[in-house]
A and B are shown apart, each in its own frame.
Chain A
Amino acid sequence: MILTVLHKTCYEFATPVGGIIQSLRLTPARCEGQKIIDWSVDVPGAVMGALFRDGAGDYIQTVSLRNLTSTIEVTVSGTVETQDTAGVLRGYRERVPPRAYMRNTPRTEPNRAIRELFEDTLAGMETASALDRAHALASAVHKALPYIPGATHAHTTAAEAMNEGAGVCQDHTHVLIACAHLADLPARYVSGYLNATEDGTPHEASHAWAEVFIEGLGWVGFDASNETCPNEHYIRLGSGLDAQDAAPIRGLVLGGAEETMDVSVVIEAQQQ
């Protein structure tokens, strides 16, 4: 499938700020089932550092703007050819040992509700394969947290989302990571784009899901929000321990002022 992406992030400041510095993770990973045809990241007026790959295999780029400004616009556009790999991450070069993804952050720290979810789900599955157990956990998270936009916010932790009883893709992913860790399975947060859900209904285009490390298979993606594994509708950008660590844009405004952010993402499958 050929997917085109147009992703604009526009920051507006009430009073001019002294500039901005950002670390961008906005270039799709190079792996099987994901071929970049063309891709560009543009921030008018900014100095762009060279693109480099970090140990986790993500493309990273530094962007800085060092003069007075009241608006900043980050535009990502490109075309990617995708294929379904049944969620398995293959042909991907990375240097981080999977066991390093066994640690929790405050966002993925389990509470009692998460422990119970984990125990209830895996009861009787002691002999099941790691893959089956991961699938079971993903489905359980999907059922435990109905998808309700606005139920949670950007800083909600896995535990808070469980208490809330609802969430969005970020919360599903955090809870799934917490559960996987309880099952002694390395797991991480992946951010990317999603064209549409399986049945073709349009979907919030910026997306997140989890990857769980399955011995023998490698990293396998689990999208608990849609109860599926990532397929040709997904574009993988980068990974981390949690939403903050894997954020496509991490930045800092110099001489901060009140800011409003407007994000629009359009993904379309090209007619073939």
Chain B
Amino acid sequence: MPESFFNEMYDAKGLRGPYRMLESWYQNMPAEFRALKQAEAEHLFRRYGITFAVYGEGGDPDRLIPFDMFPRVFAADEWRRLERGIKQRARALNAFLSDVYDRGEIIRAGRIPADLVYRNEAYEIAVAGFRPPLGVFSHIVGIDLVRTGRDQFYVLEDNCRTPSGVSYMLENREVMMRMFPHLFQENRVAPVDNYARMLKRTLASVAPAKCDRDPNVVLLTPGHFNSAYYEHSFLADLMGIELVEGQDLFVEGDFCWMRTTQGPRKVDVIYRRIDDAFLDPLCFRPDSALGVPGLMNVYRSGGVTICSAPGAGVADDKAIYTYVPEMIRFYLGEAPMLENVPTWQCAKPDDLKYVQENLAELVVKEVHGSGGYGMLVGPKSDKATIETFAAKLAENPSNYIAQPTLALSTCPTFVEEGIAPRHVDLRPYCLVGRDVELVPGGLTRVALTEGSLVVNSSQGGGVKDTWVIAEE
């Protein structure tokens, strides 16, 4: 089976261009030196405080995500293609959101079933008819991609709400540059460190029309007990904006205010890292203490911008995913540049039948699941596991979708004995405001276990620095 996977460093013709300089680097690295560097990296991550708590697992809350020092590299022309495809997708997803909260043309045109959108839990009735500044709903679109061949990329899923992990993209680069400065002198690696500036610019560009000065942008976190708190404080610090909790904000009149040592200060843009349901107890869950009571009224009357917009989640639903190529054709009049993974909707009887007959070959996921939980990887599962899963599937088919098992590309990864190919994916972060832009890079996640295809950090995945070699 291994030979059927695309190896990003060594293909059938030998060493691939983008990795040219890395061959001698790892071959000339003595084992002790490598161990030393690995320890140094770990030390740096601990010092920066980059840790990750896994939901509901208990254990060490200060756990590190394993970092693999072997970079994942893209050539300039490869990246150019990807970049166009990612931006295209981010535009179409926003056009879709703008449309379904307005006239719903794509539904009237019969291109997407009405019930799939309007009956979707993530469709927020409270914001129907409201157009956020510039019509942008999803300001940070994280698109999970996998590669299966030299020119084959597939989109695994879209993340339109608040995709996480960007701090790893930035810190992985920081650590690599500190540890191996000469690598960056020899290779022309495009920088990613202006991400925070771009994000700040993006957020400021969607300030409400009522804001007539330099907008006050804040990052709203659920608090320091949240597993991603490090990322929240890291990003707020890099952007030079306040990191606030719900208790730091309050609503009065038509605006949202922040409690400061100089008294209340108006807030114009909220980059929120909490879910819709917790944003405002007067509009959504009444028991939520994480949000700001009255916030949705201020938002809907144009006093503050919330990023991503409440209701943006309807675009990244796994059932809607199937229709993204259709959105690209419908709104942009273009052919999709990135392919979707063929997907069977278990809600459809024909699809369900196919899935049930081919469980051993397929990957089956929960429609609303995330983090690699509750899924079945057919080819990696034993008979008993498949049978248990089949029973769950039969009980509630519409809760599942299925996809073929993709031959994820591999990238060399440091292991006990030296280097070995391990499967990787990629999450780039596309910013949508006045402009649509993304930094050359993203988060590469790697399945550290031999043969494993699950890259989620909650399931033993690690991360790598992701390089895009600049144009000659």
Interface centre among B114, B130, B252, B281 (most CB of A within 10 A): B252
Interface string of B174-218 (1 = CB under 8 A from A): 000000000000000000000000000000000000000000000
Interface pair B253/A97, CB less than 8 Å apart: no
In the complex, whether B351 has a CB less than 8 A from a CB of chain A is: no
In the complex, whether A9 has a CB less than 8 A from a CB of chain B is: no
In the complex, whether A103 has a CB less than 8 A from a CB of chain B is: yes
Interface pair A252/B282, CB less than 8 Å apart: yes
Distance of A119 Cα from B251 Cα, bound (Å): 47
Smallest CB separation, A267 vs chain B (Å): 26
Q: A240 — nearest CB in chain B belongs to which residue?
A: B125
Distance of A241 Cα from B107 Cα, bound (Å): 22
Distance of A209 Cα from B252 Cα, bound (Å): 32
Q: Which of B52-75 contact A (CB under 8 A)?
A: none
Smallest CB separation, A5 vs chain B (Å): 23
In the complex, whether B123 has a CB less than 8 A from a CB of chain A is: yes
In the complex, whether B47 has a CB less than 8 A from a CB of chain A is: no
Interface pair B254/A62, CB less than 8 Å apart: yes
Distance of A97 Cα from B300 Cα, bound (Å): 18
Given contacts A55-B128, A56-B128, A95-B128, contact A100 B118 (CB under 8 A): yes
Q: Which of A94-145 contact B (CB under 8 A)?
A: 94-97, 99-103
Contact of B129 among A50, A66, A95, A251 (CB under 8 A): A95
Contact of A23 among B102, B130, B283 (CB under 8 A): B283
Interface size on A, residues (CB 8 A): 30
Q: Which residues of A contact B44 (CB under 8 A)?
A: none
Interface pair A102/B119, CB less than 8 Å apart: yes
Q: Among B19-27, B142-150, B227-235, B291-299, which stretch is in contact with chain A?
A: B291-299
Distance of A50 Cα from B254 Cα, bound (Å): 6
Q: Which of B93-140 contact A (CB under 8 A)?
A: 101-102, 104, 107, 114-115, 118-119, 121, 123, 125-130
Contact of B294 among A21, A94, A97, A99 (CB under 8 A): A21
Q: Which residues of A contact B152 (CB under 8 A)?
A: none
Query: By DSSP majority rule, is chain B's interface helix, strand, loop, or mixed?
Result: loop
Smallest CB separation, B372 vs chain A (Å): 28
Q: Which of A231-272 contact B (CB under 8 A)?
A: 241, 244, 250-252
Interface size on B, residues (CB 8 A): 32
Distance of A21 Cα from B282 Cα, bound (Å): 9
Given contacts A64-B252, A95-B128, contact A49 B293 (CB under 8 A): no
Given contacts A23-B294, A97-B118, A102-B119, contact A49 B253 (CB under 8 A): yes
Smallest CB separation, B298 vs chain A (Å): 7
Interface pair B129/A100, CB less than 8 Å apart: no
Q: Which of A9-60 contact B (CB under 8 A)?
A: 21-23, 47-50, 52, 54-56, 60
Interface pair A100/B282, CB less than 8 Å apart: no
Smallest CB separation, A46 vs chain B (Å): 10
Interface pair B286/A244, CB less than 8 Å apart: yes
Distance of A142 Cα from B119 Cα, bound (Å): 28
Interface pair A56/B125, CB less than 8 Å apart: yes
Distance of A66 Cα from B251 Cα, bound (Å): 10
Q: Which residues of B contact A49 (CB under 8 A)?
A: 251, 253-254, 297-298, 301
Q: Which residues of A contact B296 (CB under 8 A)?
A: 23
Q: Which residues of A contact B121 (CB under 8 A)?
A: 103
Distance of A170 Cα from B7 Cα, bound (Å): 63
Smallest CB separation, A148 vs chain B (Å): 27
Distance of A243 Cα from B104 Cα, bound (Å): 28
Interface pair B252/A252, CB less than 8 Å apart: no
Interface pair A96/B128, CB less than 8 Å apart: yes
Distance of A66 Cα from B128 Cα, bound (Å): 30
Distance of A254 Cα from B143 Cα, bound (Å): 41
Interface centre among B115, B127, B281, B293 (most CB of A within 10 A): B293
- Partner-B contacts on A (CB < 8 A): 21-23, 47-50, 52, 54-56, 60-62, 64, 66, 94-97, 99-103, 241, 244, 250-252
Instruction: Supply 25 A–B pairs (Cβ within 8 Å), ascending by A.
Output: A21-B250, A23-B296, A47-B253, A48-B253, A49-B297, A50-B253, A50-B301, A52-B300, A56-B125, A62-B251, A62-B294, A64-B294, A66-B252, A95-B129, A97-B107, A97-B118, A99-B115, A99-B119, A100-B119, A100-B123, A100-B125, A100-B128, A250-B283, A252-B281, A252-B293
- 6 additional A-B residue pairs with CB within 8 Å, beyond A22-B282, A55-B101, A100-B123: A56-B128, A61-B297, A64-B253, A99-B119, A100-B128, A102-B118
Can you list the 7 inter-chain pairs with the closest CB atoms, starting with the nearest? Answer: A95-B129, A55-B129, A55-B128, A99-B118, A52-B301, A96-B128, A100-B118
